[in-house]
A and B are shown apart, each in its own frame.
Chain A
């Protein structure tokens, strides 16, 4: 089944404890991105990757890191999480880096930072 997966789905952690949220797609998509969803703010892009080893900042990159060593995986790293990073996170992928492509979202990761 073609899909985007994320792990973990739920995570409660404490300030400063490094964490990684994994994202994987099995559709051979080139373009992947991370969003955070907050009430009243919609979906805001954190980072994106146009292909392997090519990543760039989105609109809210502060406090996050990403890597793209393989086409299928695009992990989101929080080196020192803070309470303002409590949010619902979505990974998304599209076949190519073209404006007109549908974005396929993962199931989401709900992160709480205490």
Chain B
């Protein structure tokens, strides 16, 4: 079946450093790629998304890049802060179902002061 692979599973950085999380998807018809952030004990919340007709999107300290040819996309967080510590999930739309998203396994990011 369709799947999304996410790496790394854990990531530890010092405050102020950059963090990069990478995802690879299998459905070549996927055209929407959101990223969700889940703080400890909380619900997942959308932080940024990108559509297939765009190669890069930025929102303050976070950016997402998409390479449709290679079928991978990445989340970049610059100038990390302790409040960025959370689990991040990437997802890709599944062409076989309305509003269907296939999620990656998640990356636990720890930002150390």
Contact = CB atoms under 8 A, between A and B. Distances in A.
A42 B104 CA distance: 6
Contacts of B32: 99-100
Interface stretch (B13-21, B41-49, B54-62, B67-75): B41-49
Interface string A46-84: 001010000010110000000000000000000000000
B9 interface: yes
Interface residues of B, number: 27
B107 to A, nearest CB: 10
Contact of B34 (A31, A48, A102): A102
B103 A42 contact: yes
Nearest to A108: B43
Nearest to B9: A40
B6 A99 contact: no
Given A105-B44, A105-B45, A100 B100 contact: no
